[in-house]
Amino acid sequence: MHIITLCSFKGGTAKTSTALSLGACLAKIHKKKVLLVDFDSQANLSIGLGIGPDSEQTMVPVLQGTAKIQDIIIETNIKGLFLVPANAYLDGIETTAALVRDLNAHLRLRDALKSVEADFDFCFIDTPPSLGWLTQSAFFASQHNLICAIPEAYSVIGLRRLKEFQDYIQKYHSINVLGVILSLWDKRGAVNQTLLQDIDASFPNKLLQSKIRRDVSVSHAVLQGKAVIEFAPECRASEDYQQLTKELLGIIDPLSSDKSKLETLSKEKRKVTV
């Protein structure tokens, strides 16, 4: 199972819409089995799939050790797409007694996902627009991350802080940046080139070719509790997310192949040693 965290250091970067749309495209079009983890107390990912923000089945009891993740995973209206919902009780969970006493509490999400890694092809973790405990836990649970940004100065400036955070995590856990996704894109933007240069300065050669154009259909889809490819399959955003999904698969498949080769070589070396 490829576990991918979607992150940003600023709200309004279409992070949640991207998690939902990538998951929906992989499940509906590419026939992959996908798990979405709503790891944000605002529960926007859950709302975007028609699940209320007051769902009682969330990661809270799993993180506190009173439930298993298998007990809280629910099916969505898209075949092959599953969800771990969120609610407001995720906020500040790291201060609860069960987690305060555990020095390795930040690894609980990782351990929970390990128990279902054989059941899914992909897992996307939607994080809050901050670099707090929830985002840290998501990074430690993931092999990859996708960075979400919009072509605005504050969003791009926030990437510098995100790069520092990424470098800190790398000291303790290896995580690969799959790329930077630009949403709300307008090719006529007057400062596009300057912003693209700033993105490349923080994450060199990581800007993905597929950009998500501004499209009101995304907002309408959220209000209907549907993925945009279900609500308006022929709109601009649907086209862009489908292209982004293909690009993402093109990046991940070689990585999987390289990992498989390394594992095979490692096994052969152990046999020779014996």
CATH of the domain at 263: 3.40.50.300
- d(CA 270, CA 29) in angstroms, rounded, equals 40
- As for how many domains the chain has, the answer is 1
2-7 and 34-38 as β-strands: parallel, antiparallel, unpaired? unpaired
Give the Cα separation of 91 and 67 in Å (integer).
18
Taking the C-alpha atoms of residue 203 and residue 179, their distance in angstroms, rounded to an integer, is: 8
Q: How many Cβ atoms are within 10 Å of 105's Cβ, its own excluded?
A: 19
Kindly report the pTM of this predicted structure: 0.89
- Cβ neighbour number for residue 68 with a 10 Å cutoff: 13
How many other C-beta atoms lie within 10 A of the C-beta of residue 264?
Answer: 10
8-state DSSP, 27: H
Backbone torsions φ then ψ of 101, nearest 5 degrees: -80, -10
- Identify the helix (H) or strand (E) that includes residue 82: strand 81-84
Angle between helices 192-202 and 153-170 in degrees, nearest 10: 10
Domain residues for the domain of 124 are 2-273
pLDDT in tens, the chain (274 residues): 999 999 988 788 889 999 999 999 999 999 999 999 999 999 999 999 988 777 677 889 999 999 999 999 999 999 999 999 998 888 889 998 889 989 899 999 999 999 999 999 999 999 998 889 999 999 999 999 999 998 888 888 888 888 999 999 999 999 999 999 999 888 777 567 888 888 888 899 999 999 999 999 999 999 899 999 999 999 999 999 999 999 999 999 766 544 544 444 444 444 444 3
Q: What values do phi and psi take at 62, rounded to 5? A: -65, -45
